[in-house]
Amino acid sequence: MKAVLIHYHLRAGGVTQVMLNQARTLQEYGHEVFAVCGEGPVNAGEWQGIDVGIIPALHYDRCRVKSRVNAKILAGEIERLVYDHWQNSADVPLLHVHNPLIKKNCLLIEALKLLRERFPLLLQSHDLAEDFRPDVYMNEEYPENCHYAVINSRDYRFMLEAGLKKEGLHLLPNEVRVLKAAPDLKKEYYLYPVRGIRRKNLGEALLLSAFIPHAKTTAITQRPTTERDAGSYRLWKSLAAELELPVRFEAGETLSFSQALGSAYTIITTSIKEGFGFSFLEAWTAGIAVTGRRIDYVCRDFEKNGVCFNDFYNSIKIPARYAPPELFLQKLSKTLRAVYKSFGIPLPEEITAGAKKIFGSGEALDFGVLDEEMQEAVLRALCSDKNVKKHIALENPFLSSLSVREPDHQLIEQNRLAVRRAYSRESLGGHLQEVYRAALSAVTHRIDRRALLERYLDPSRVFLTGIAYE
């Protein structure tokens, strides 16, 4: 089988790593692989042995030199590059395109509709604009009559409900790499190995730092790379210093990843939105426990494969006196109006009513749903008044347990084995080939974009730090 893996770029990142893993898997099973992108890898050695073709017009809109290139020209460039790579081959390759349904390149969707006439297509979504991301939502209809893939069962269910057929929709979990922790290092960090973007909910990581043992530090590994996220990141960095919270930022800039892991007492995650959820799985392979905020739709998939999340919490309840529900509802209403406007649809009255019913009861609010301003106010109150800290701890027994928790080595080993059993290259390689074979067959279906949007815009799933709109 011949496969073309297509993405906007091969810069370091989650999607690029997934593509590299898929390419290596296919090669190990004897298939021919060609990667096509708008920008090649910085570390060419990682892609050694994999042919890479560059088409500048395939890159992000913001990274491309303005030109007269249109969708027809882009489709033609991809087609020529593929046919030039496999000269005189009778086999038609499968085009496996990563994350095409988000507005990163305004030409790609229409180009794919043209390419669909020449090649079988597999369009894999790692995240979807419908999930409260109107900043990357497109006006174009998504390609019809081609195969789609998603990385979690929630997205799979929503895609089916929006019109796709089972024979043309595939659940394609990611391979989880085995991590190695540097040995013989002091275990001093509650390590949050992430880039500090807004949806990683760094305010909550600061809150956890107020409850960890005195000899420990919360460490966040990487700063964000976009200005949208940088403002929030600077807020948390400044506030942590002002409140003298035990938080270290940019730990990954002075420590290698293996050193950071070797220094970790435990891994934490406070993220409120993930596509696949590597952070819930990877550290177990290095023999390190993971704890933090549970994301149900992610964790349920992993639990079906034997991974246990006993040490996770569903929410952090903040009493109304510290996070007034009426203030939150004002902020939420304003944000939802802006979000729906960005999607080009009116805000339904039932959404507003549903939000008031969920969040306006006068009871405690989850810290994770708050915006940065309200989270900051909670942190200031908690750090300035011991009674506030005690009150919040009483509402959330998990927080008090942080200071006395010891690693559960039996659980660590159980989860390490479960992750390797379900998410290794050996266990997923056969499934990837099955999906590719299925994607060569014809299918007749389409995505009802309004129905898909309605599945995601659920007021019970609103987290203000996870919403992006223009």
In this prediction, what percent of the chain has a pLDDT beyond 70? 99
Report pLDDT for 53. Answer: 97
Asked if residue 440 lies in contact with residue 168, where contact means CB atoms within 8 angstroms, the answer is no
Dihedral (Cα; 4, 161, 104, 425), 10-degree rounding? -40
Model confidence band, residue 470 (pLDDT cutoffs 50, 70, 90): low
Report pLDDT for 357. Answer: 81
For the residues 443-467, what does the mean pLDDT come to? 91
pLDDT at 127 over 60: yes
pLDDT in tens, 278-329: 999 999 999 999 999 999 999 999 999 999 999 999 999 999 999 999 999 9
Beta carbons within 10 angstroms of residue 184's beta carbon: 5
Domain 189-315+367-422 matching CATH 3.40.50.2000: the answer reads yes
Tell me the whole-structure pTM to 2 decimals. 0.94
pLDDT in tens, 248-269: 999 999 999 999 999 999 999 9
SS (H, E, C) 406-441: CCCHHHHHHHHHHHHHHHCHHHHHHHHHHHHHHHCC
Report pLDDT for 312. Answer: 95
In this prediction, what percent of the chain has a pLDDT beyond 90? 84
What is the pLDDT of the chain when averaged over all its residues? 94
For the residues 24-50, what does the mean pLDDT come to? 94
Sequence ranges of the domains in the chain: 2-175+425-466, 189-315+367-422, 325-359
pLDDT at 360 over 80: no
For the residues 68-73, what does the mean pLDDT come to? 92
Domain 2-175+425-466 matching CATH 3.40.50: the answer reads yes
Secondary structure element (H or E) that encloses residue 365, with its range: strand 365-366
